[in-house]
A and B are shown apart, each in its own frame.
Chain A
């Protein structure tokens, strides 16, 4: 077995997860100016719901579909019924509210499913694909292809379509966008829905390879946040930061050892933060 090939495979899979979670956070941040700390809960909700529904005898496809819908309802409901009525509150308070929502979800998941981890079967069954001394499960290939594909699709949607630009405008200046006829409220709910969908897809694809429990949500939010922060909250940048983080994590884990993963990772984070703040430090600004 070739360690390098396997590290690349592992890095691609981990990177896809970073990207999946990161882009949803970026999207909501860019449209609603909120760092949604309950974002990872869409992952946990989908996973727990799918596991419970499949366990109750529903066909896998139906269980997954229903679980994705529940996650979507959560993501849009969080905006519509919790955050929107408080739109005038300070951003810091709203972030705390999303954190509170994350803990409420945890509680509900414990009540529904207990504390033990759960899982459900893979969608893509079959022997792993072997190449260059590495092995990759079919589900892992789906995770990588869909993870980067869908995230790239979201990036293109934002940068190149009319609806995407309306979303960006609604984010940058909701007042100006409204005056130009843009339905800002619809743009925001669209952003939450896309974010929820991406979190749910990440769950559907990744959880069969690991497991999910009531506390997976915040861990996923953190992953997404690291990728999003490194990209500078850019919907296209998060694709590269996610991929880079995944490969980096796998390589450090394989060649230096998992004990070095966190120290090295956080050093990189600090360096990136210093790099991104260089303009501020030197008194300039990149924005006109």
Chain B
């Protein structure tokens, strides 16, 4: 799929010619056309490629078994380069070609741009926690909301009798969402918030940390996702700060661990859904499904799956449930189905007629990096 981003017009034209003869019989056979909008290049590429790996794995497995409800899946992945205008062009094209489901495997700004296009379907599945689609839309978010994640942090702080937190957030749309949830949640919980913003291009985060990580602050939270998060972690270490640092769920990955293993703060914590540490998942069905996915992914790609992969799995499970309904193209019926039926996945998704967010704060845990694996976080003294 990466080739898509790199391909030159000539190569695309050649590909079109090669694909043309195959397209006609495929259309006659009836397939499920599924669209995927994901940043495969640009600053959010790590997110897009990780989600794309899960989507591809699902399509391969489903098609190997003869498809779903007798039809094979035809996946079109469109690289939005984390640009909203490009994401809109991608989604519009997919809708015109009759996509029955769109995976919104993109970042906040792109997803917000796509949302108005699916006012009357198809279903838009969203792994990002930052969007929180309204219940009157066809968007369904398979992750907890950013407010839920922040609530889990507040919960953790209260359990450890901590009433102040320092926070570093990026200046982009995701950063805005993080700041808004932090102001609301920590305000409600009477936790003092000390905040600094950081530019996405920054090569040093020491002034931000100097502002928010005074000696009275017991925990620092960086809501930064993507490559820039490493700058925060390294500056943290370079300043010799001793507090536990909580990083965003987006960084609970092997790649991140590899990058920070030599420059780890004394304690590195993170937010995540519980499925990343299956042993602590309470529901036996969820635990078994998480375990099974983690193993299948590791076998397929020879790398440890991370939080983003896990959310991608939730999205494909919901997609599969949709394709198994009597008429997946009857979007109002699908909407009603999703709002009334729990969908088993790595975490059972529970949408309702009032909320299109499938998970809540109870699915979020605070994890801690021990050695090279993430486990449930120890208390903070």
CB distance A6 to B210 under 8 Å?
A: yes
CB distance B6 to A14 under 8 Å?
A: no
What range describes how many residues of A lie at the interface?
35 or more
A117 at the interface (CB under 8 A from B): yes
B43, B207, B234, most chain A CB atoms within 10 A: B207
In the bound complex, what is the Cα–Cα distance between A137 and B206 (angstroms)? 10
CB distance B203 to A128 under 8 Å?
A: no
**Which residues from A are CB-within-8-Å of B198?**
253, 258
Closest to B2 in A: A110
**When the two chains form the complex, which single residue of B204, B240, B255 contacts A209, counting CB atoms closer than 8 Å?**
B204
8 extra interface residue pairs, beta carbon distance < 8 Å, beyond A209-B204, A210-B234, A250-B207:
A115-B46, A121-B262, A136-B238, A139-B238, A219-B201, A253-B207, A258-B171, A258-B196
- Give the 4 A-B residue pairs with the shortest CB-CB distance, closest first: A6-B210, A115-B45, A137-B238, A117-B227
In the bound complex, what is the Cα–Cα distance between A17 and B231 (angstroms)? 15
In the bound complex, what is the Cα–Cα distance between A114 and B53 (angstroms)? 13
**When the two chains form the complex, which single residue of B6, B211, B227, B255 contacts A3, counting CB atoms closer than 8 Å?**
B211
A13 at the interface (CB under 8 A from B): yes
CB distance A259 to B197 under 8 Å?
A: yes
- Given A257-B197, A259-B171, decide whether A9 and B231 contact each other with a Cβ distance below 8 A: no
- Given A115-B46, A135-B240, A140-B238, decide whether A210 and B231 contact each other with a Cβ distance below 8 A: yes
Query: Within the complex, what minimum Cβ distance (angstroms) separates A99 from chain B?
Result: 14
Give the number of chain B interface residues (Cβ < 8 Å).
36
CB distance A119 to B259 under 8 Å?
A: yes
What are 18 A-to-B residue pairs whose CB atoms are below 8 Å? A2-B210, A6-B206, A7-B207, A10-B204, A14-B202, A14-B203, A115-B49, A116-B255, A117-B255, A128-B238, A135-B240, A136-B238, A209-B203, A209-B238, A210-B204, A215-B42, A253-B208, A258-B199
A206 at the interface (CB under 8 A from B): yes
CB distance A1 to B213 under 8 Å?
A: yes
* Residues of A participating in the B interface, judged by any CB pair closer than 8 Å: 1-3, 6-7, 9-10, 13-14, 17, 106-107, 110, 114-119, 121, 127-128, 130, 134-137, 139-140, 206, 208-211, 213-215, 219, 223, 250, 253-254, 257-259, 261-262
CB distance B201 to A258 under 8 Å?
A: no
In the bound complex, what is the Cα–Cα distance between A60 and B198 (angstroms)? 31
CB distance B259 to A1 under 8 Å?
A: no
CB distance A215 to B238 under 8 Å?
A: no
B43, B196, B202, B231, most chain A CB atoms within 10 A: B202
Query: Within the complex, what minimum Cβ distance (angstroms) separates B202 from chain A?
Result: 7
Query: Within the complex, what minimum Cβ distance (angstroms) separates A18 from chain B?
Result: 10
CB distance A110 to B227 under 8 Å?
A: no
CB distance A1 to B210 under 8 Å?
A: yes
In the bound complex, what is the Cα–Cα distance between A35 and B10 (angstroms)? 27
CB distance A110 to B214 under 8 Å?
A: no
**Which residues from B are CB-within-8-Å of A223?**
201
Query: Within the complex, what minimum Cβ distance (angstroms) separates A202 from chain B?
Result: 10
In the bound complex, what is the Cα–Cα distance between A208 and B234 (angstroms)? 8
CB distance A211 to B197 under 8 Å?
A: no
Query: Within the complex, what minimum Cβ distance (angstroms) separates A119 from chain B?
Result: 5
CB distance A135 to B238 under 8 Å?
A: yes
B69 at the interface (CB under 8 A from A): no
In the bound complex, what is the Cα–Cα distance between A110 and B45 (angstroms)? 11
**Which residues from A are CB-within-8-Å of B43?**
215
Closest to A255 in B: B207
CB distance B208 to A128 under 8 Å?
A: no
**Which residues from B are CB-within-8-Å of A13?**
203-204
**When the two chains form the complex, which single residue of A135, A206, A214, A262 contacts B239, counting CB atoms closer than 8 Å?**
A135
B41 at the interface (CB under 8 A from A): yes
B230 at the interface (CB under 8 A from A): yes
CB distance A110 to B230 under 8 Å?
A: no
Closest to A261 in B: B199
CB distance B207 to A3 under 8 Å?
A: yes
In the bound complex, what is the Cα–Cα distance between A116 and B227 (angstroms)? 8
**Which residues from B are CB-within-8-Å of A253?**
198-199, 202, 207-208
CB distance B240 to A211 under 8 Å?
A: no
Query: Within the complex, what minimum Cβ distance (angstroms) separates A157 from chain B?
Result: 26
In the bound complex, what is the Cα–Cα distance between A36 and B194 (angstroms)? 42
In the bound complex, what is the Cα–Cα distance between A257 and B204 (angstroms)? 14
**Which residues from A are CB-within-8-Å of B240?**
127-128, 130, 135
**Which residues from B are CB-within-8-Å of A14?**
202-204
**Which residues from A are CB-within-8-Å of B206?**
6, 9-10, 135
Closest to A257 in B: B197
CB distance B230 to A117 under 8 Å?
A: yes
Closest to A13 in B: B204
Closest to B5 in A: A110
In the bound complex, what is the Cα–Cα distance between A128 and B242 (angstroms)? 13
CB distance B203 to A210 under 8 Å?
A: yes
**Which residues from A are CB-within-8-Å of B46?**
115-117
**Which residues from A are CB-within-8-Å of B234?**
208-210
CB distance A119 to B171 under 8 Å?
A: no
CB distance A1 to B214 under 8 Å?
A: yes
**Which residues from A are CB-within-8-Å of B259?**
117-119, 211
CB distance A211 to B199 under 8 Å?
A: no
B204, B234, B259, most chain A CB atoms within 10 A: B204
**Which residues from B are CB-within-8-Å of A257?**
196-197
A-facing residues in B206-228 (Cβ within 8 Å): 206-208, 210-211, 213-214, 227
Query: Within the complex, what minimum Cβ distance (angstroms) separates B104 from chain A?
Result: 19
**Which residues from B are CB-within-8-Å of A127?**
240
CB distance A215 to B210 under 8 Å?
A: no
CB distance B210 to A107 under 8 Å?
A: no
CB distance A258 to B202 under 8 Å?
A: yes
A-facing residues in B234-269 (Cβ within 8 Å): 234-235, 238-240, 255, 259, 262
Interface string of B296-338 (1 = CB under 8 A from A): 0000000000000000000000000000000000000000000
